[in-house]
Amino acid sequence: MEGFGFLDAARASQRMSALVILGISDLLDKAF
Protein backbone atom coordinates (compact mmCIF):
# COMPACT_ATOMS: atom_id res chain seq x y z
CA MET A 1 0.00 0.00 0.00
CA GLU A 2 2.77 2.45 0.84
CA GLY A 3 4.25 1.91 -2.59
CA PHE A 4 1.06 3.15 -4.23
CA GLY A 5 1.10 6.35 -2.18
CA PHE A 6 4.69 6.95 -3.21
CA LEU A 7 3.83 6.40 -6.88
CA ASP A 8 0.90 8.81 -6.62
CA ALA A 9 3.11 11.46 -5.02
CA ALA A 10 5.80 10.98 -7.67
CA ARG A 11 3.23 11.25 -10.45
CA ALA A 12 1.69 14.39 -8.93
CA SER A 13 5.08 16.08 -8.50
CA GLN A 14 6.00 15.18 -12.07
CA ARG A 15 2.78 16.81 -13.27
CA MET A 16 3.52 19.89 -11.14
CA SER A 17 7.01 20.33 -12.56
CA ALA A 18 5.64 19.89 -16.08
CA LEU A 19 3.11 22.68 -15.40
CA VAL A 20 5.83 24.93 -13.98
CA ILE A 21 8.02 24.33 -17.04
CA LEU A 22 5.08 25.07 -19.36
CA GLY A 23 4.32 28.28 -17.47
CA ILE A 24 7.94 29.43 -17.68
CA SER A 25 8.17 28.69 -21.40
CA ASP A 26 4.92 30.61 -21.96
CA LEU A 27 6.37 33.61 -20.13
CA LEU A 28 9.55 33.41 -22.20
CA ASP A 29 7.50 33.25 -25.41
CA LYS A 30 5.67 36.44 -24.44
CA ALA A 31 8.90 38.19 -23.43
CA PHE A 32 10.61 37.66 -26.78
Mean pLDDT by 10 residues, the chain (32 residues): 84 92 92 82
Chain centroid to CA 15: 3
3-state secondary structure 3-28: HHHHHHHHHHHHHHHHHHHHHHHHHH
Chain centroid to CA 25: 13
CB crowding 9-26: b at 16 or more within 10 Å, else e: eeeeeeeeeeeeeeeeee
Where are the domains positioned within the chain? 1-31
Model pLDDT, residue 1: 60
